[in-house]
Amino acid sequence: MAKINEEIFKNVISHAKEYGFVFQSSEIYDGLSAVYDYGQLGAELKNNIKTYWWKAMVQMHENIVGLDSAIFMHPKVWKASGHVDGFSDPMIDNKDSKKRYRADQLLEDKITSLEAEGEKEKADHLQTEMDNALKADDLPLLKELIEEYKIVCPISKTANWTDVRQFNLMFATQFGAMAEGSEEVYLRPETAQGIFVNFLNVQKSGRMKIPFGIAQIGKAFRNEVIARQFIMRMREFEQMEMQFFVRPGTEMEWYNKWKETRLKWHLALGTNPEKYKYHDHAKLAHYANAAVDIEYEFPFGFKEVEGIHSRTDFDLNQHQEFSGKKMQYFDAEVNPETNKPYGNYVPYVIETSIGLDRFFLVTLINSFEEQDLSTEEKQDSRSVLKLHPALSPYKAAILPLTKKDGLPDKAREIMDQLKFDFNMAYDEKDSIGKRYRRQDAIGTPFCITVDYETLENNTVTIRHRDSMEQERVDIVNLQKIIGDLVSWKNLLI
């Protein structure tokens, strides 16, 4: 990672902690690796991201409905889905540092550093060789590549590697109170299976007609071989997934549509399009016939934020076979070629799957700015989170200019009118300048200042976070002004 990018990333992480967005889990016990807690502002931001996704996917589509399935599922689900046998990563240990790595990630880091050194041809060559090795599940070849490209352990700086082995990523636990007679169950490694096993329940009870989708936001757990880069790769994380059920033969059309729709969702937040790119999968998962990642340019390079997969009828077929229950849909629409209904079939599925935490990180990185505001007279700077107002934890802050002369009472009165519709902050401590800076740092789009003029004519100033400009407005208009500026409409139309 280039020094400057490393610095930005470090600053984002410390900003997230300092202002109550993200804390290391169990920090007072030195933390639990790759597990994080969301603080008072992180929880708000995360909820707002969920709302943005849910509204865009469920509320804006008549043919998509939501679901909230349990984390525990019948153990056979994970047999059927292929996770018991195949959900593993190639890992390699360094014998000197005793550290464990994912073989493919060591190679990917090498590719990124070759690219940064201007060795494009070499990087492309390694990428092709690695893709081929992964496709063929050729573990010895992965090791050969690590040796050939002289990749060393970042800690011990040696190339004293073990062989590459497969490592299953699912967490297992005991189900039932007694150890004896209890059964082993898994913490779900993805939310998708909760949707597949409920496919018929939702289709029948909701009278859904193909094409239709089922969306879900929920926790997933993966015992990642190596967890790093803050909330980028966690052992407990949240996914926002949607499975879209379609008629076989139409899947590529829907795959392309969702690929486009999902990128638009990312870009609607105002992100520079150059920060995003598609990355087609070279190695398709056992269930897919097409797959693409939406990648974002993190300070440590382009990495996956969301995956769009054409999963064929693999999952429903597997559940049909393992459960012995039919997973078919009767399509009454008439096929113009045969003049008969399309009839019974197992639908094909397009999946869109985004990591909530990873997208949270994108949002923080994207919005974090350190600005130098120095003038000839004085040195000045500020940290600002330029969050889209719809995502901001607080929609506005109410700030009485001073703590006396009835200004706090007036400020509270305004707050009491607005708090039903907007999450509001109230702050009367320190100078007004310091308070503005505090709100800038947590991404509050508007500061409402109550001053002596307010007591005379019921007007206040609104200060805009990004431009730092102020305007004087009537209190009665605040509801509409803030409402318009933070409305979900600005993102969803």
Question: Where does this chain bind ligand ATP (CB under 6 A)?
Answer: 190, 222, 224, 233-234, 237, 239, 304-307, 353-355, 357-358
DSSP 57: I
Minimal distance in Å, beta carbon 353 to ligand ATP? 4
Closest contact distance (angstroms) between CB of 292 and ligand ATP is 11
Q: At closest approach, how far in Å is the CB of 307 from ligand ATP? A: 4
Least Cβ distance, residue 19 to ligand ATP (angstroms): 22
Cβ proximity to ligand ATP, 32 vs 481, nearer residue: 32
Query: Measured between alpha carbons, how far is 108 from 445 in angstroms, rounded to an integer?
Result: 38
Q: Which is nearer to ligand ATP, 189 or 400 (CB)?
A: 189
For 205, the 3-state DSSP assignment is helix
Q: Comparing C-alpha atoms, which of 1, 2, 21 is closest to residue 383?
A: 21
Q: Which residues of 112-138 are buried (b: 16+ CB within 10 A; e: fewer)?
A: bebeeeeeeeebeebbebbeebbeeee
* Residue 289 DSSP symbol: S
Nearest to 278 by CA among 253, 304, 255: 304
| Least distance from ligand ATP to the Cβ atom of residue 358, Å | 4
Q: Cβ-closest residue to ligand ATP?
A: 355
- Is there a contact between 85 and 128 (Cβ–Cβ < 8 Å)? no
Cα 257 → chain centroid: 20
Q: Which is nearer to ligand ATP, 110 or 233 (CB)?
A: 233
Tokens representing residue 486 in the block: 């933070």
**Minimal distance, residue 281 CB to ligand ATP, in Å:** 9
d(CA 189, CA 237): 9
Q: Which residues does 239 contact at the CB level (< 8 Å), separation at least 6?
A: 190, 191, 217, 218, 219, 220, 353, 354, 355, 356
Calculate Rg over the CA atoms of the chain: 26
Min dist. Cβ of residue 268 to ligand ATP (A):
18
Nearer to ligand ATP, 258 or 394 (CB): 258
* Between 266 and 410, CB nearer to ligand ATP: 266
